[in-house]
Each structure stands twice: as structure tokens, then as C-alpha cells.
Structure 1
């Protein structure tokens, strides 16, 4: 019958850095001199390998997480214009610079800014996953949709949300933020 406590002690011994500095044969010889049977030695070796494999996998995952680079584009004092990680780009909400225009003009400017931002960061219109649209006045939704429809392809439509909300400048009529896949 295998003695579990003895096997656990043997596992700790086999995984000890000082013991690992000696040859495999000497470690086995030492365990047998302490009364371990061949079956107990074999089980201890198996368990030590399982632990080492799990630890190596965990270390690999940790290294991958640490290696995951977050890139920030056009950072300002309060936010970055876009952030990418793991092949996904997240944009800040884009608003029109020219606030003299109506909803159509502002929507065209905002969508052009987003298109340029995507292209500058290895993405494109067909890679958009989600869009969040904030309109100063929800009654502008139909006019915004007309511009949106001319800007997007029907075979690559993203998930989209339209909300009514107060925008940073009272003359801004629309703000759009997107999440897209980077492909290039």
C-alpha cells in the first residue's frame, strides 16, 4: 500500500532546487534510502512532473498577459483618441470640429474622422464591431441614419446603439465611438 504522506514528502524533495542540482539517479537512490518503494518513487516523480507542468503553463499565461501591449493613440490630458490591445481598437467618442453644420454635415465629419482613425491604426470600415452613437436630439436619428447608411456596407454592419444625450459643446449634435478589429 502506498503511503501518501511519504509520497508528498518525496514530491517536495524532488521539486527542491538543491535536490534538482543532483543527478536523477542520486535523487531516486536517496528516496529509496528513506524507505520509499519503487511504486512510491514512481508516483512522486509523476506528481512532481504534473506540478511542474501546471506551473510552467501558469508562468506562460502570466508572461502572455504581461506581454500584451496596450497602445494609446493621440493621448491628451484626459483621454486617448484611441486605444488598442490584442487586435482590437477602441476609439474615444468623435465629435465634429465644425459645429456650424447641421446634423448631416456633423455626422459626415464625425464618420470621416472615424474612418481616418481606423485606417491609421490597421483597421477599416468593414472591421467595426460596435458603434455607440449619441445624438443631442433623438429626432435627428433619421437624418443620422441616412448618413450612416451611405457610410457603412450592409454586409458588414456592426452592432450599434443610438442614445440621446448632452454633448460636450451645445453646438455639437452627434458623437460616435466605435470598437473595431485591427487587421493589418
Structure 2
């Protein structure tokens, strides 16, 4: 009788766990850009999976003029972060919700200058990966993407 009770409890527990997991399964939502000129882009500005938000990379482009801001790495860093703030705001998030940043510099020797600006915005110190790569979009000096949690 005891093995039978154990089997029944195992089945019931498995059903409970499976039902709970199914109810908590994460819906994935792909958001187009709020910018009219990026509506036909072949990627999403933001992908939401549960309470996590994955933002596409942002460069130091002025969204009104669609040109890179002048002033080099520090000006582009500031603009890229402001662009991130704008996208986060569309989803009722702020930089304080950011838990991970990926930073791509066109020249690793810009690291210190970039970091001076970055630390003014990201006071909670999210996890970060920084590396250099050539050929960024629009000949940008920097691109930043983030993951945020609501």
C-alpha cells in the first residue's frame, strides 16, 4: 500500500508543478520602435520576456536629426545613454532598472573617457561587458545595449 501512496503523491506533485510552471510560462513580446523612421527595421527595439526587457543597441545618434552627435566618444556616450533612457521610459523603466550593459567601443583606448560619462548615469553599477570592435553603425564610436528588469 505504501508504494501505491508514494506513486499517487508523486503523480499529484508532478501535476501540481507542471500546472504551476504552465501558469508562469513567460510570454515574449517584440516591440517595434516608437520612432517612425525605425518602424521597418529588421529587429525589435525591445523584447520583453516576463519582467525582463532586452533593448537593442543604441549609438550616439540624435534621434531628431538622425546624425551622430559631435564631440567624440564622451558626447556619443552621453547621447547613447539618453537614447537608452528614452526607450526605457516607453516601458515605464529607468536606468535604475538596468541589470546588464554590453558596451562596444570602436577604439579601446576610449575606455577611460567613456567610463567618465558612464559612471555619471549608471549609479547602481549594473553588470557590464566592454570590448572593442571596428565597423559600428554610422561610424559610431560606441554602441550600448542593456537588459532591464521591472
Q: What is the TM-score of this pair, normalised by structure 1?
A: 0.65
- 1:123 is paired with a residue whose SS is coil
- Report deviation, 1:50: 3.6
- Report deviation, 1:77: 4.3
As a proportion of its length, which structure holds more strand?
Answer: 2
Q: Contact conserved, 1:125 with 1:152, CA < 8 A, in 2?
A: yes
Q: Which residue of 1 aligns with 2:105?
A: 135
Gaps of 5+ in 1: 1-39
- Report deviation, 1:122: 2.6
Q: Residues 15-56 of structure 1: CA distance to partner in whole angstroms, max 9, x if unpaired?
A: xxxxxxxxxxxxxxxxxxxxxxxxx4x864663354233223
Q: Contact conserved, 1:91 with 1:177, CA < 8 A, in 2?
A: yes
Work out which of the two has the higher radius of gyration on C-alpha atoms and give 1 or 2.
1
Q: Residues 77-106 of structure 1: CA distance to partner in whole angstroms, max 9, x if unpaired?
A: 431111111211111111122225221221
Q: Residues 135-157 of structure 1: CA distance to partner in whole angstroms, max 9, x if unpaired?
A: 1011111221121122222xx11
Aligned length: 138
Instruction: Report 1:64-79 matches (<5 A).
Output: 64-65=24-25, 68-74=26-32, 76-79=40-43
Q: Contact conserved, 2:100 with 2:148, CA < 8 A, in 1?
A: yes
- State the distance in 2 between where 1:133 and 1:80 align: 19
Q: Contact conserved, 2:136 with 2:143, CA < 8 A, in 1?
A: no
Gaps of 5+ in 2: 34-39, 62-66
Relative contact order higher in (CA < 8 Å, ≥ 6 apart): 2
- State the distance in 2 between where 1:169 and 1:51 align: 54
Provide the aligned C-alpha RMSD in A: 2.2
- State the distance in 2 between where 1:94 and 1:51 align: 49
- Report deviation, 1:165: 0.4
As a proportion of its length, which structure holds more helix?
Answer: 1
| Cα distance change on mapping 1:45 and 1:139 into 2, 3 Å | closer
Q: Which residue of 2 aligns with 1:149?
A: 119
Instruction: Report 1:12-31 matches (<5 A).
Output: none
